[in-house]
């Protein structure tokens, strides 16, 4: 059968698209959809992983921040404790044990009962303290008219445990004193004076800053 198309050329049905072209177009569309789908999976998967890692790191930072705050408090407590210990030590060092000093002095004077080396007695004991340290003044005498007795007493004083705190000491000098009412009648009188060191050295005063020199005026 012969068909005659009487419609104008511009209204006639165009040539149909071939099957290969349609298949290629469909395949390209499917490939693009698959590519976009894969990209979406990868992108959102990586995003979820990054967010999870971010949350983990944030949690670790918060835990470390708590530990850091606790460490700062411990460090502050440690410094406060060291400051208190230093203060207690300074207070302890600033107090001289005079009872110990007197015990050591009595041991020297008594000399374990050895009266041949020296036999001494004192009339009084006076302590005067100032910034340089306490000064102990003890007028006394040794039995006998020999200067060697006075020298022996001073030698034993210099060997006593408290001698490490001595800044200075009076010289072993004496004056012969005679009292016929006593037996023996002769004795050597002296005035013993010992300058002890201060227990806490004075802190050096900060030096004043030099005055600023004004710049020379230009003529």
> In this predicted model, what pLDDT tens digit does every residue of 174-197 receive, in sequence order?
999 998 887 788 999 999 999 998
Q: What is the pLDDT of residue 5?
A: 59
At residue 159 the predicted structure's pLDDT band, cuts being 50, 70 and 90, is: very high
Both 30 and 48 in one domain: the answer is yes
Q: What is the mean pLDDT of residues 20-29?
A: 70
Is the model more confident about 109 or about 95?
109
At residue 219 the predicted structure's pLDDT band, cuts being 50, 70 and 90, is: very low
Give the whole-angstrom CA distance, residue 7 versus residue 10: 8
- Name the nearest CA neighbour of 141 among 107, 178, 190: 190
Both 79 and 117 in one domain: the answer is no
The total number of structural domains in the chain stands at 2
Both 110 and 61 in one domain: the answer is no
The boundaries of the domain holding residue 88 are 21-95
Does residue 85 fall inside a structural domain?
yes
Is the model more confident about 9 or about 194?
194
pTM of the full predicted structure?
Answer: 0.49
Both 190 and 106 in one domain: the answer is yes
- Name the nearest CA neighbour of 190 among 178, 204, 176, 169: 176
- The span from the first CA to the last CA of the chain, in angstroms, equals 126
Which stretch of DSSP H or E encloses residue 91? helix 19-93
């Amino acid at each position: 059968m012969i068909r005659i198309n009487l419609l104008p050329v511009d209204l006639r049905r165009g040539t149909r698209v071939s099957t290969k072209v349609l298949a290629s177009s469909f395949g390209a569309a499917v490939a693009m959809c698959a590519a976009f789908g894969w990209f979406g999976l990868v992108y959102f998967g990586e995003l979820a992983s990054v967010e999870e890692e971010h949350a983990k790191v944030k949690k670790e930072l918060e835990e470390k921040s708590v530990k850091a705050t606790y460490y700062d408090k411990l460090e502050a407590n440690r410094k406060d404790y060291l400051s208190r210990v230093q203060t207690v030590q300074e207070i302890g060092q600033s107090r001289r044990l005079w009872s110990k000093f007197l015990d050591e002095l009595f041991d020297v004077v008594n000399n374990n009962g050895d009266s041949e080396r020296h036999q001494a007695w004192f009339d009084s004991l006076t302590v005067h303290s100032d910034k340089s340290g306490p000064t102990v003044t003890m007028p006394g005498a040794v039995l006998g008219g020999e200067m060697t007795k006075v020298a022996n007493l001073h030698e034993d004083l210099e060997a006593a445990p408290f001698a490490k705190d001595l800044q200075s000491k009076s010289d072993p000098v004496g004056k012969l004193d005679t009292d016929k009412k006593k037996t023996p009648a002769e004795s050597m009188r002296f005035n013993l004076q010992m300058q002890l060191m201060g227990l806490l050295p004075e802190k050096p005063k900060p030096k004043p800053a030099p005055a600023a020199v004004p710049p020379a005026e230009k003529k």
